[in-house]
Chain A
């Protein structure tokens, strides 16, 4: 999909008083597909632009990037795309997190591995437009036709060989019209895109400079630690803060809703103050338990209360006519996000304005919600984004920012809310617990029907997912969903919807191949042949690209030729617009399966920053394995049974495989990498464990369902 837009709708230039040119562009406007400008461009001023390129008189380029950085690397890769088309040396580019106001936040999009996909065309156009203006200015100065001039790393060169640096023509360029038709580079001419480029914040990160929300502070700011209901479904009756108020350094205790905030001059005192609170809780409904969820979800799977998300052919008929029906159930627990930086947010609420600062993936929605909560105009609310110590979907939800705003309003002081790890794990917006039942009908050795049923706590599956593989590959195909309404808050978790679905489906196909005695790879490739040339526009994946990553993974992993003692498992999946195939190599150590290596083949189109891209793949694969292997989160009487890392296990370095990444080389527009390597990992490992131990895993976490007490790693 190529975004359509007019450059005039999102680019504007201006001369800077101190020298140089400022090129403003509305990144969120520009990066959205098929958007129209909100108002007439002539009515806009620079406040309507949320990203800027500044070219100084000395030719140095500063790119102000407004995108939330959660570790996915867009603060590096998005400016790289601009710098490429602007044709400047990356060493002369300085990237700054842009200061923003609410007006711009209202047009912000972030998340879902979409930044690069949506940004690609617009960022290139922005850089190329700026470059063309500089060329036009130089050409006018020389009195030559601009088309006879070229650029090279910040220098404009005419046909006589005369040279002018960008910095020498910026003043003139600023006065020119924004050109409408600019030429983009051919991918073969890229000098920055496709080159390993280091994270622009690395120096600050490794020297301990303040970057994150938790590092943010202002004069007079209070540290707030909040006592929240200890279980989902509980409400506050009353509380006694006598002991809390007796603690030296506790400044205030404020009740809001069913929560009580303790304010102090430092975090530790506020934490102690919270511990000293005595609260009574009540509940007007039965509190939920994991055991009950299990039963409810199983009943839903076996019932008839489904919503059909996609139905091709007639699965009932196919199943009735089948020689054999294979049916398997896959089960997952809830998962907390556990960002390393616990949730936190700063708020200052005054009669004039509402100032919010902190780590958030969705500043637009948060600003709006805070405005509603405080009954203020959204224009009064500003959100400044800090670097985020992880997101994984948790920071899509601004509940912590709402708390900060409410407390700051009541306290009439600037406040930073800080979650302890226990608060963070206990007041989560979790990946819901899900069960899948997958059935396939077999006739004459062929798969004739495929029926996937989902039962989820709250809701899980999203509209487009039923159009992923194997949709289109099996004549009779149906996807049904059912949900149980829970008080436990659930939401997006890295690779929402597919993080567990991929495990279920790719395990199922592996088992189908065994039952049908067909080669596992051949079974997948044969199915893909049927999708080629499809006229079904709902189909999201490309059978050719999926086939290609599968074939390359077979080659790169030495599939079928593993040395003695190495057991391999295969998995391939499409999600977030990217095609991925993975092979896990498992070895037995004291009869315990250990994942030694994962070969990962990725087709994400053009790889903007290979160094950062590989980091995303390595992290995504290991994250996927870690949660499939160890992630276990249950509830008793409405409260999570794990509260911190002593009872909740995250994968550690001594348990990680080496990830070998291969990117498919092509010139297709790039797609995102923050999520797509995660979903296939669980099935690759489960299928390898089946090969090694003969144990077929249907439930996560694997560690709990393996016939061994020894730790897996």
Chain B
């Protein structure tokens, strides 16, 4: 089985996996990094969102063989102590209900705010529309992104 060298959250990781294994399952099953969630497997729900060279990407559609030598950031790399302004905003607004989709939501929000630090409501809604929250905590996601933007500016 092929071996891949991955750069995840600033650290080098070596994994042995079939070339077609999605990064999602490499993270979850091979590396025990379970913060990245499985929701649909076809890039529709956003639960598995990670950053690839800084861009929000669906890890369920990303074959491990495609991501060598790229910077991979997962929810575990955002901060482990809730120190990132997006996490702080999520906590202050008390966004989660079941919480399952929230790692993906936070990954989409951080990538978006890195590109647009002063978004309006309509831009926030567009940027976050790729992430489904089945509990429909959408009002709070919207407010948390606004709050995070103000913290980051």
Which residues of A pack against B, CB within 8 Å? 70-73, 196, 198-199, 201-203, 205-212, 214-215, 217, 223, 248-249, 265-269, 272, 338-342, 387-392, 420-421, 611-612, 615-616, 618-623, 626, 644-646, 650-654, 656, 658-659
Provided the pairs A207-B75, A208-B74 are in contact, do residues A645 and B40 lie with their beta carbons within 8 angstroms?
A: yes
In the bound complex, what is the Cα–Cα distance between A73 and B78 (angstroms)? 25
User: Cβ of B142 and Cβ of A653 under 8 Å apart?
Assistant: yes
In the bound complex, what is the Cα–Cα distance between A70 and B30 (angstroms)? 27
- Residues from chain A with a CB closer than 8 A to the CB of B140 are 615, 618
Provided the pairs A266-B30, A653-B142 are in contact, do residues A615 and B102 lie with their beta carbons within 8 angstroms?
A: no
User: Cβ of A615 and Cβ of B94 under 8 Å apart?
Assistant: yes
Cβ-based interface call for B91 (8 A): yes
- Residues from chain B with a CB closer than 8 A to the CB of A215 are 34
Interface centre among B81, B99, B132, B140 (most CB of A within 10 A): B99
Which residues of B (1-57) have their CB < 8 Å from a CB of A?
Answer: 1, 17-18, 20-22, 25, 28-30, 32-42, 44-45, 47
User: Cβ of B98 and Cβ of A650 under 8 Å apart?
Assistant: no
Provided the pairs A206-B82, A644-B44 are in contact, do residues A390 and B98 lie with their beta carbons within 8 angstroms?
A: yes
User: Cβ of B45 and Cβ of A653 under 8 Å apart?
Assistant: no
Which residues of B pack against A, CB within 8 Å? 1, 17-18, 20-22, 25, 28-30, 32-42, 44-45, 47, 74-76, 78-82, 87, 90-91, 94-103, 106, 125-126, 128-142
In the bound complex, what is the Cα–Cα distance between A203 and B44 (angstroms)? 26
- Residues from chain B with a CB closer than 8 A to the CB of A338 are 134
- Residues from chain B with a CB closer than 8 A to the CB of A615 are 94, 97, 137, 140
User: Cβ of B33 and Cβ of A208 under 8 Å apart?
Assistant: yes
- Residues from chain B with a CB closer than 8 A to the CB of A342 are 38-39
Shortest CB–CB separation between residue A597 and chain B, in angstroms?
A: 11
User: Cβ of A650 and Cβ of B18 under 8 Å apart?
Assistant: no
In the bound complex, what is the Cα–Cα distance between A209 and B35 (angstroms)? 6
User: Cβ of B132 and Cβ of A340 under 8 Å apart?
Assistant: yes
In the bound complex, what is the Cα–Cα distance between A522 and B42 (angstroms)? 50
Count A-B pairs with CB separation below 8 Å: 191
Provided the pairs A198-B94, A207-B79 are in contact, do residues A420 and B41 lie with their beta carbons within 8 angstroms?
A: yes
19 contacts between A and B (CB under 8 A): A202-B94, A207-B80, A208-B36, A208-B103, A269-B21, A340-B47, A340-B98, A342-B39, A387-B99, A389-B101, A390-B134, A421-B40, A421-B41, A644-B41, A645-B42, A651-B138, A653-B125, A653-B131, A653-B133
Q: Which residue of B lies closest to A612 (CB)?
A: B94
- Residues from chain A with a CB closer than 8 A to the CB of B79 are 207
User: Cβ of A207 and Cβ of B76 under 8 Å apart?
Assistant: yes
Shortest CB–CB separation between residue B48 and chain A, in angstroms?
A: 11
User: Cβ of B128 and Cβ of A208 under 8 Å apart?
Assistant: no
- Residues from chain A with a CB closer than 8 A to the CB of B136 are 618-623, 626, 651, 656
User: Cβ of B96 and Cβ of A616 under 8 Å apart?
Assistant: no
Shortest CB–CB separation between residue B19 and chain A, in angstroms?
A: 11
User: Cβ of B96 and Cβ of A201 under 8 Å apart?
Assistant: yes
Shortest CB–CB separation between residue B146 and chain A, in angstroms?
A: 12
Q: Which residue of A lies closest to B82 (CB)?
A: A203
User: Cβ of A268 and Cβ of B25 under 8 Å apart?
Assistant: yes
User: Cβ of B126 and Cβ of A654 under 8 Å apart?
Assistant: yes
In the bound complex, what is the Cα–Cα distance between A248 and B1 (angstroms)? 9
Find A199's partner among B25, B35, B75, B96 (CB 8 Å cutoff). B96
User: Cβ of B137 and Cβ of A201 under 8 Å apart?
Assistant: no
Shortest CB–CB separation between residue B9 and chain A, in angstroms?
A: 11
In the bound complex, what is the Cα–Cα distance between A652 and B20 (angstroms)? 30
User: Cβ of A207 and Cβ of B82 under 8 Å apart?
Assistant: yes
Shortest CB–CB separation between residue A1 and chain B, in angstroms?
A: 27
Shortest CB–CB separation between residue A137 and chain B, in angstroms?
A: 36
- Residues from chain A with a CB closer than 8 A to the CB of B102 are 205-206
In the bound complex, what is the Cα–Cα distance between A223 and B125 (angstroms)? 37
Interface centre among B25, B94, B137, B141 (most CB of A within 10 A): B94
Knowing that A248-B1, A249-B18 touch, tell me 14 more A-B residue pairs with CB under 8 angstroms: A202-B99, A203-B82, A206-B102, A267-B28, A268-B21, A340-B101, A340-B132, A341-B39, A389-B100, A391-B98, A421-B40, A619-B135, A653-B141, A654-B128
In the bound complex, what is the Cα–Cα distance between A266 and B34 (angstroms)? 13
- Residues from chain B with a CB closer than 8 A to the CB of A196 are 94
In the bound complex, what is the Cα–Cα distance between A622 and B20 (angstroms)? 38
- Residues from chain B with a CB closer than 8 A to the CB of A339 are 98, 100, 134
In the bound complex, what is the Cα–Cα distance between A645 and B44 (angstroms)? 6
- Residues from chain B with a CB closer than 8 A to the CB of A392 are 134
- Residues from chain B with a CB closer than 8 A to the CB of A203 are 82, 91
- Residues from chain B with a CB closer than 8 A to the CB of A269 are 18, 21
Provided the pairs A206-B87, A208-B76 are in contact, do residues A340 and B35 lie with their beta carbons within 8 angstroms?
A: no
Q: Which residue of A lies closest to B136 (CB)?
A: A622
- Residues from chain A with a CB closer than 8 A to the CB of B78 are 207
Provided the pairs A207-B87, A268-B18 are in contact, do residues A650 and B141 lie with their beta carbons within 8 angstroms?
A: no
